Each structure stands twice: as structure tokens, then as C-alpha cells.
Amino acid sequence: MKKIKIIATGSYLPEKILTNDDLSKMVDTNDEWITQRTGIKNRHIADKNQATSDLGVIAAKRCFETYGIEPETIDAIIFATVTPDKLFPSTAIYVQKSLGILNVPAFDISAACSGFIYGLSVAGGLINSTSMKRILVFGGETLSKVTNWEDRSTCVLFGDGVGVAVVEESFDESGIISVYIGADGNMEYLLHQPAGGSRNPATFETVEKKLHTIHMAGNEVYKFAVNTMQMAAEKALELAKITSQDIKWFIPHQANIRIIDTTAKYLKVPKEKVFVNIDKTANTSAGSIPIALDQMNREGLLKKGDLILIDAFGAGFTWGAAVIRW
């Protein structure tokens, strides 16, 4: 089987920053509660005219420029998101149009916060089963567009941003050593957007009741998040035939600093190996891991040969973890 590797990364966080103090003027909350319960200080918010694909296009352009990638060398575009530009066609289609990478397959993956890891897995499958050589895998959101800004239990948690990775077959030691993805639909109602799809098409009533925004039973989700992220990470480590002691970096989905700390503790990963940027980005769902990878890459934190564990959990529930040799 062909091993695939990430050869380039990019990301984009919108310029507008919303602070905890800003939020305390909008709903009954405060910086202390948000910081203590979530670790979040700031989140980036897309402009009124910016859709998810627009963020993706900037991320991709940055990636192409930095790594000297020619758009015509891309064989497929995969976009992991739950905040597509439109319900159809896919967000990947709009990225394709803007970047001018025409005639290659372009499609979205809906796996919430685990979407980027699902995307890496699908890209590996395509490289192994077709003549495709180089695939763009995006993960990211404009969750601000589906946030209920009157609901303090959710509006403080999310942010906008997109990350991207270019993957291709590896001919050296670098590459994705293991990927483990899964889902359990039994608890879908704990985190979802109730209206806007075919179950509850948009009506005046659904809009009035804000059913097209994020609905989450935070407490319940929290418990599943901690246990599932541990389970997924252990599975990916086992598949890679290594232990958590072998890894240089643990890059968890950035949903809540308490979930990150507890998962790291369960996995026996010391704090200095855990990448955290939730204070600046909040939860960007599918954007979380590729944005982190790009930030670390640009900061020179990822060295060739390093073993990295990425780990995510999200609505569905879905989960995914992977071990990567950089």
C-alpha cells in the first residue's frame, strides 16, 4: 500500500477578532467564566461577505506561495466542513472555481470536527486506488454564520478559520503511519443544526426559532469527547505500533482546554508536548487540526522525522486520530 505524506500546509483566520469582553456585552457572560471553563480568550469571525470557501482560497494561496505549488498539479480537492457555502454544490467546487483547478474531482466531507482526519483517510484511499498523485485536503468553517448569538452556552465556544494540507505519495520515511476514524449516530441529537436540511427545511418558523443554529448539550458532549478522544488516540497509536511516549507532539482538536488537558493526562502525554491555540482560535471544528499543523509548521516546531499524534472528536458523534511521521 502507498504511504501518503503532507508536503505543504496553509491556513487562514479572518481578521476580525471577537474577545471575551466583546461577548460579555452581547450575552450574560464574562471573561473569567469563558477562560476557566474553556480556555478561550479570542475567536476570529468571518466578514459578512466571506463564506467558508473564501477562507479556504486564501489558505490555499498562502500554501501554494510558500511551498511553490502549481495549482495545475492538484488532482483532487476535498473540503471537510459543516458550514458549506451552500447546501449544494459543495464548498470544494467554489474553491476549485476560484483557484482555477478545473476538471479534477471536488467534493465535501461532513464529519464535523473530525472532518480533516476523515479527509486525510479519503485522500490516502484515492491515491491508492486511482492515478491521482496530489490532493488538496481542506478543513474549516465559518461557524459564526450558524451561531445563535443570544445563546451564551454556545456562542462563546466557536470561531472561524480554514486550514489546508497538500498530500501525495511518500517515497521516504515521512508519512501517515496510521489513521483510525469512526462514528456513532446514536447521540446525533446532542450536537446538531436542527433545521435547514431535508428533515426540517427552512421556514419562517424554523428561522424564528433559530433552529438553523448550533444546538448542543455541552455537558453530555463533554463526557463523550474526553473518553472518545482517548480511545481514538490509543487506537491510532496501536495501529502505528508505538506508544504515547514515542510521540514528539500531540495535536488535539481544540474544543475546550479541559478536554485537551484531560485527554493528554489519560494518554500520559506531558503538557510540553501538547499543542494548544484554543485561546486564540476557539473551536474551529474541522479547521482545528489543519490550522494547528500550519501554525506549527510555520513556527518551525515540526522537524522531519518527528512523530505526531492528531486526534479529534465531533458532532455525529464522529472521531478520528492519526500518527504522522513528519
**Residues linked to residue 180 through DSSP beta bridges, in sequence order:** 321
Candidate ranges 59-67, 130-138, 160-168, 254-262; the one touching ligand UT7 (CB under 6 A):
254-262
Q: Catalytic: 20?
A: no
In the complex, residue closest to ligand UT7 by CB: 218
Query: Is there a catalytic annotation at residue 277?
Result: no
Cell numbers linked to 119 = 479527509
Burial class from Cβ neighbours inside 10 Å (0-12, 13-18, 19+) for residue 15 reads exposed
Does residue 297 sit in helix, strand or coil? helix
Shortest CA distance to 30 belongs to which of 152, 159, 151, 150? 152
Run of H or E residues at 172 = none
Q: Which of the residues 42, 256, 283, 297 is marked catalytic?
A: 283
The verdict on whether 283 is a catalytic residue reads yes
- Grouping H, G, I as helix, E, B as strand and the rest as coil, residue 50 is coil
Task: Single out the residue of 140, 116, 154 nearest to residue 13, CA to CA.
Answer: 140
159 binds ligand UT7 (CB under 6 A): no
Name the segment binding ligand UT7 (CB under 6 A); options: 92-100, 179-187, 252-260, 265-273: 252-260
- Contact call for residue 33 and ligand UT7 (CB under 6 A): yes
Number of H helices, E strands in the chain: 11, 13
Beta bridge partners of 263: none
* Binds ligand UT7 (CB under 6 A): choice among 113, 165, 251, 264: 113
Given 113, 155, 215, 256, which residue is catalytic?
113
Rounded Cα distance, 113 and 99, in Å: 25
263 phi, psi to nearest 5 deg:
-60, -45
- Distance separating alpha carbons of residues 254 and 196, to the nearest angstrom: 26
**Residue 41 binding ligand UT7, by CB under 6 A:** no
* Binding-site member from 11, 38, 147, 228 for ligand UT7 (CB under 6 A): 38
Scan for cell 503532507, then name that residue. 6
Place of cell 446532542: 190
What is the smallest separation between the CB atom of 27 and ligand UT7, expressed in angstroms?
7
Fill in the amino acid letter for 273.
K
The label of the residue with cell 443570544 reads: 150
Which one-letter DSSP state was computed for residue 86? S
283 near ligand UT7 (CB under 6 A): yes
CB of 157 to ligand UT7, least distance (A): 6
Q: Using the rule CB under 6 A, is 106 a contact of ligand UT7?
A: no
In whole angstroms, the minimum distance from the beta carbon of 146 to ligand UT7 comes to 13
Nearer to ligand UT7, 95 or 216 (CB): 216
Which residue, 96 or 283, has its beta carbon nearer to ligand UT7? 283
Of 225 and 296, CB closest to ligand UT7: 225
Minimum gap (Å) between residue 225 Cβ and ligand UT7: 4
Which of 78, 117, 225, 233 is close enough to bind ligand UT7 by CB under 6 A? Answer: 225
Q: Which three cell numbers stand for residue 217?
A: 448539550
Segment contacting ligand UT7 by CB under 6 A, of 93-101, 148-156, 173-181, 200-208: 148-156
Cell of 211: 433552529
Note the residues at the interface with ligand UT7 (CB under 6 A). 29, 33-34, 37-38, 113, 152-153, 156-157, 191, 218-219, 221-222, 225, 255-256, 259, 283, 313-314
Q: Which residues are catalytic?
A: 113, 253, 283
